[in-house]
Amino acid sequence: MDTADNHYEEKFEFPLWKIIKERAAKKDLSYVKAALEVLPEYEKGIRVQSMCRQMPSCSERISEHIVGTKGTCYTDQASGSIKGENAYKYDGPNVDPYREEHVDLIKSIQDGKPLNEAKRVAESTLTGIMGRISAYTGREVSWDWIMKASKLDLTPAKLEFGELPEAPVALPGRTQLV
């Protein structure tokens, strides 16, 4: 076995990689989505670091922390604050954002000023999908590539009720970018 992959594996073997291989062989997917990090880059070099952990019995916090040249911003499901030049602390009611988006939509229709967030939602969703692809393949993914060159199709071969075939375990650095 003298392929480049085997040489890399032998030379850089470490305990976590052994665990991943053992679990993959047993079709134990618990490690795949345990922790992910995505660092998308937007126009003008703006970057957003997004990390998540998806493990049973662990914190399920959803939050954003934005660092700028004149301060930082932190938001989560219960609070929001800005520290720095234009300091601000949200002290309003703690509303459920997932409920509130529906309240806003219904109110906009009743007031004759419909909200149309389809483009923003579609772009946000695609950004998340790109992050997933990047995390699962270990490769960088660009907006142009995903829109013009990607051949990824996660649609089941046949649309019908019943069991779906089990997807292969994604291994960053091994799973192909398509």
Between 9 and 114, whose confidence is greater?
A: 114
Same domain, 89 and 103: no
Domain range spanning residue 84? Answer: 33-94
| 144-153 mean pLDDT | 93
Same domain, 79 and 123: no
Give the total number of structural domains in the chain.
3
Same domain, 90 and 37: yes
Cα–Cα distances in angstroms (integers) from residue 102 to residues 28, 62, 109, 145, in the given order: 38, 19, 11, 33
Same domain, 112 and 133: yes
Query: What would the two tokens of residue 81 be?
Result: 């604050």
Alpha-carbon distance 73 to 19, whole Å?
37
Same domain, 77 and 113: no
Alpha-carbon distance 176 to 136, whole Å?
9
For 103-142, how does the pLDDT look when each residue is reduced to its tens digit (9 = 90+)?
Answer: 999 999 999 998 988 999 999 899 888 988 888 888 889 9
| 24-44 mean pLDDT | 70
Same domain, 46 and 90: yes
For 52-109, how does the pLDDT look when each residue is reduced to its tens digit (9 = 90+)?
Answer: 766 667 777 778 888 888 999 998 877 899 999 999 999 888 888 889 989 999 999 9
Question: End of a domain among 94, 118, 136?
Answer: 94
